[in-house]
């Protein structure tokens, strides 16, 4: 499955952005989907994940209550709604697909190119 993230940009602190991850090649309905991010000089970190049928979600503590992951299997697309953004949310955000909804990189075998999110103070 090929993944392409979009929707990033520059936003002021407190603002919102909605990221999209469009998949092609295979239906995403068989995969758990996730978002990770990587800030300059830091390791890639888990942000959020959603199960195959949207029945379960998982979030990093740093984004709970502010971010929401969702998916539309009919459109083969996953979303990340980001509200109340903070400067520390600045990073390249990437989507990933795997067979299990887990919060670590090793669980995901398919990765897309990321989209830059910059939050100014």
- DSSP assignment string, 58-86: EE-TTTTTTEEEEEETTTTEEEEEE-S--
Instruction: Check residue 45 and give its pLDDT.
Output: 97
Instruction: Check residue 57 and give its pLDDT.
Output: 97
Please check whether residue 66 is in contact with residue 13, taking contact to mean a CB–CB distance below 8 angstroms.
Answer: no
Indicate whether 26 pLDDT > 90: yes
Instruction: Check residue 54 and give its pLDDT.
Output: 85
Average pLDDT over residues 65-94: 98
Average pLDDT over residues 45-53: 96
Please check whether residue 108 is in contact with residue 99, taking contact to mean a CB–CB distance below 8 angstroms.
Answer: no
Tokens of 80: 């990340």
Our CA dihedral for 42, 48, 50, 54, rounded to 10 degrees, sits at: -160
Average pLDDT over residues 40-63: 96
């Amino acid at each position: 499955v090929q993944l392409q993230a979009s929707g990033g940009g520059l936003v002021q602190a407190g603002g919102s952005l909605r990221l999209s991850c469009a998949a092609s090649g295979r239906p995403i309905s068989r995969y758990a989907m996730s978002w990770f991010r990587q800030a300059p000089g830091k390791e890639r970190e888990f942000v959020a994940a959603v199960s195959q049928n949207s029945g379960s979600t998982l979030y990093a503590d740093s984004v709970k209550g502010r971010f929401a992951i969702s998916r539309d299997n009919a459109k083969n697309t996953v979303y990340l709604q980001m509200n109340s953004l903070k400067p520390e949310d600045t990073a390249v955000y990437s989507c990933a697909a795997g067979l299990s909804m887990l919060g670590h990189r090793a669980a995901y075998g398919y990765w897309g190119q990321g989209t830059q999110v910059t939050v100014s103070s």
